Amino acid sequence: MKNLFDLMEKMPLHPSTREFIREGRKVPGYSFLDFLHGYVYGRWPYLYIGVGTGHHPLSKILQLLGVSLLRVLGIDPGGGNGRGQKGPGGQSSFADSYHGKVMPLQTAKRLIHVGQEIRLNNLERVIPYAFARDLILRQPDHIVALECPCRAVRPNPCLPLDVCLIMGEPFASFVADHHPRRSRWVSPEEAASILEEEHRRGHVHHAFFKDAMLGRFFAICNCCSCCCGAMNAHRTGTPMLASSGYRCRVQEGLCIGCSACVDACPFRAIAIRGEIAQLDPNLCMGCGVCVNRCDRGAISLDRDSSLPLPLELEELRKDS
C-alpha cells in the first residue's frame, strides 16, 4: 500500500490532493483503499450520493457493483448496526463508517468561530460509533460552502443549494479545487449567516465524520428532512446520526397544543395528545428546531446525561 501512495504522489495532481495523501499517510491504519474511498467521495460527491440515495439513473446497477466490491473487500454493506458491532459473519458494517452528530444552532456557530487549530481524539462518548470519531481542525477559518449533494441530486430540491460547509484543511481546498462551479470560499461570519438562515428554515445542523475522510470531522451539513440521505436512512433504521446530547422538554403549563412544534420537528418526535405536545424521547435528537417555533416558550432544550456528550469544544477540552 505504501508503494501505491508513492505512485499517486508522482502523478500530476492538485496540490490539495497531494495534501490529502500526505495527511492520510499520517493516520494509523489509513489504507490506500480508504484514501480511494475518500477521494471518490470528495471528487464525485453528486454521483456518490445520487447512487447511494437511488436518485441517479444508474443507481441500481452501480449499487449492485458497489455491494459486490465491498463484499470482495470483506465489508458487509448491510450488516451491523452502525455502533461498532459486526454484521453477520463478523464483517464490518458499511454503516459504521459514515454518520453525523446533531448540533443545536449555538453549538454549530461556536464550531465555526473556533478560531484556532483543534485536535481531540477518540471521542467515543461524543460520536458513539466504531470509526470516524476524531475532531481535528487545521486552519479552521478555511471554509467552503458547497452545493449540497443530497439536495442537488433531487428532481425538486429544497433551496438554496450551497449550504454544506466544508471546514479546515485539506478538505476545504480539495473541494474548492475540484468543484469550482459548485463551491465558494466563505468567511466564518458568512458561514454563521448560512447556519442562522438554515435554522430559520427548520433545518438541522450536523457535524459530519467519515472514516474515509481521514477518520475525522470534515463538514457541517445543514440538512432538510426531505432531501437529506442521512436523515432518511436514519428514519428507516440505519443509525447514521448521533444525538446532540440535548433533549427537548415540554412545559405543560405553558403549552396550548397549537402543533407548531409538531409541524417543525424534522425527526417527527412530537405529537399532540390530550391537547398537549408530547415528546417521544426515542425519536428526539435534540436539534432545537422546535424551541424557536413555540411562541409561548413552552419548549426548552436541556442537557440529558443519558445521551452522548454534546460537541461543545470547551467542555471536551477540559474532559480530554
Q: pLDDT by residue (tens digit) across 173-198?
A: 999 999 999 999 999 999 999 999 99
Q: What is the pLDDT of residue 54?
A: 78
Contact present, 100 and 240 (Cβ < 8 Å) = yes
Contact present, 228 and 235 (Cβ < 8 Å) = no
**Of the options 3.60.110.10, 3.30.465.10, 3.40.50.10540, 3.30.70.20, the CATH number for the domain spanning 246-303:** 3.30.70.20
HSE of 318, CA atoms in CB hemisphere, 13 A:
5
- How far apart CA 101 and CA 84 sit, in angstroms, is 16
Burial of 138 (0-12, 13-18, 19+ CB in 10 A): middle
Domain boundaries along the sequence of the chain? 2-243+309-319, 246-303
- Altogether, the residues listed in the chain come to a count of 320
Q: What is the pLDDT of residue 1?
A: 55
Three-state DSSP class for 277? strand
What is the Cα gyration radius of the chain? 20
What are 227-267's pLDDT values in tens digits? 999 999 898 888 889 999 999 999 999 999 999 999 999 99
Three-state DSSP class for 102? strand
- How far apart CA 211 and CA 98 sit, in angstroms, is 7
Question: CA distances (Å), 44 to each of 37, 88, 125, 182, 244, in order?
Answer: 11, 30, 32, 12, 29
- How far apart CA 273 and CA 251 sit, in angstroms, is 14
Q: Which stretch of 139-143, 205-209, 235-239 has the lowest confidence by average pLDDT? A: 235-239
Q: Is the pTM of this model over 0.85?
A: yes
Q: What is the pLDDT of residue 92?
A: 43
pLDDT average, residue stretch 119-132? 87
State the pLDDT confidence band at 85, using cuts at 50, 70 and 90: very low
pLDDT of 215 > 70? The answer is yes
Pairing mode, strands 143-147 and 162-167: antiparallel
